[in-house]
Chains A and B, each alone.
Chain A
Amino acid sequence: MLEINSIERGIVIDHIKAGYGMTVFNYLHLENADYNVALIMNAFSLKMGKKDIIKINNVIDINYDFLGLIDPNATVNIIENGKTVKKVKLEVPQTITNIIHCKNPRCVTSVEHYFDHVFHLVDKEKRSYRCEYCDDIVVPYPNK
């Protein structure tokens, strides 16, 4: 079995739906990290079957809205001195700002680029969102 050493101080994002680990990794720009980072894909999970895990040996800013958008069932553990000191419960965000862009070519966001891209939650189960400007409905990260 693959072993990744535990971290002393940092963040573990666990129970990420299998297949979305790379999306989270890229969004957090971890490819540029100069500290220890591990992306584990398709790890065995009793509950989920397969899951992805990211271990970050550093304290960085995490956009919890983004994580909740990708997978509200993922867990974020804050680690200090090798122990979990805080668990963050994620939620499907009501509003997301500058995380996704509208794909409707008729939307004003396709031609003017100086304002926030804002989407409002339509359906929590489907995690579908409505563009603030053109009302187009999108499911940015559908259940795989």
Chain B
Amino acid sequence: MLKNRCLIDPADFTREEFREIFDLAHQIIADPEKYSKSCEGKILATLFYEPSTRTRFSFEAAMLRLGGKVIGFSEPNSSSTAKGESIADTLRTIECYADIAAMRHPKEGAPRMASHYIQMPLINAGDGGHQHPTQTLTDILTIERLRGNVENKTYGFCGDLKFGRTVHSLVKFLSNYEGVKFIFISPEELRVPEYIREEIVKKKGIPYEEVDQMEPYMGQLDFLYMTRVQRERFFNEEDYIRLKDRFILDAEKMTYARPDTYILHPLPRVNEISTEVDSDPRAQYFNQARNGMYVRMALICKLLGIY
């Protein structure tokens, strides 16, 4: 039963519960009109303490396409946070007005902490460099639509794997499925955090490699998940400049990939995927963005107890 639950971390739901969400998302894609009044009379609050374009728009578009309404703020200076209000107080107040909330915050664990203070369903829309579970829903729906299921596949993750919250959530999710293998491609300084490698990947006995070259491994991959090196996660600008251009996927590197290797990216992209790759049919990152709206529609419905 997903009604009134919070999605803060991929470990919050079981495989069966995620299955319910994906099944509904596939049904919504097949006939969106059928769901256009599902959330009439319901209000989603989008609480974005950090800038976002696609995640916030995706949540808002999802609610509007379900017939619901949206309130919220897109940066903390336009909320009571600027007056020094605590996260807990903001959430307890918003709960008086909204039925469900999506929250993004630069500090890791902020949505988990906030969820302890409220009864309404809360969705983590990204917390610092930590987790981004609805991007994972987006990624998985895209993988399912391209290849049927997530099992028995090799996933390459490339770029900033240390602060890349979308990577952490996706690895955590995929770790529950049989036959998956991971290849982590990054500079030494941006490798996956210890808690991902030790507590999830190693503990579950998943085969993995940590490498610092892209080309030799391209031919093994079913999916290559590219990520941006995020300036906002670095305390030191010099480190950012030194690492930001380390891995750039271009048409020449795509020649090493198999015809059925798909390229994913949570977006926004800076320069880590050259625009010449966009026209390659294996580049699926803009389809991901569309799927993100549909899977968020399914998630909102499930957490509100509709369907």
Contacts and interface: CB of A to CB of B under 8 A. Distances in A.
B109 A122 contact: no
A141 interface: no
B88 A108 contact: no
A3 interface: no
In the A-B complex, the 7 residue pairs with the closest CB atoms: A133-B109, A134-B108, A108-B107, A108-B110, A108-B109, A134-B109, A135-B195
B112 A133 contact: yes
Give chain B's interface secondary structure class: mixed
Nearest to B107: A108
A115 B113 contact: yes
Contacts of B116: 115
Interface residues of B, number: 22
Given A112-B87, A133-B112, A106 B107 contact: yes
B194 A132 contact: no
Contact of A114 (B88, B129, B193): B88
B108 A104 contact: yes
Interface string A80-100: 000000000000000000000
A115 B129 CA distance: 21
Contacts of A132: 109, 112
Contact of B108 (A108, A114, A122, A137): A108
Give chain A's interface secondary structure class: loop
Contacts of B198: 122, 137
Interface in A103-131: 104-112, 114-115, 122, 130-131
Interface in B121-138: 127-130
Contacts of A8: none
Contacts of A135: 108-109, 130, 193, 195
A18 B86 CA distance: 42
B105 interface: yes
B199 interface: yes
Contacts of B87: 108, 112
Contacts of A111: 107
B195 A109 contact: no
Contact of B195 (A114, A115, A130): A130
A112 B130 contact: no
30 contacts: A104-B108, A106-B106, A106-B107, A106-B108, A107-B109, A108-B87, A108-B109, A108-B112, A108-B113, A109-B109, A110-B107, A111-B107, A112-B110, A114-B88, A115-B113, A122-B195, A122-B198, A131-B109, A133-B108, A133-B109, A133-B112, A133-B113, A134-B128, A135-B108, A135-B109, A135-B130, A135-B193, A135-B195, A136-B193, A137-B199
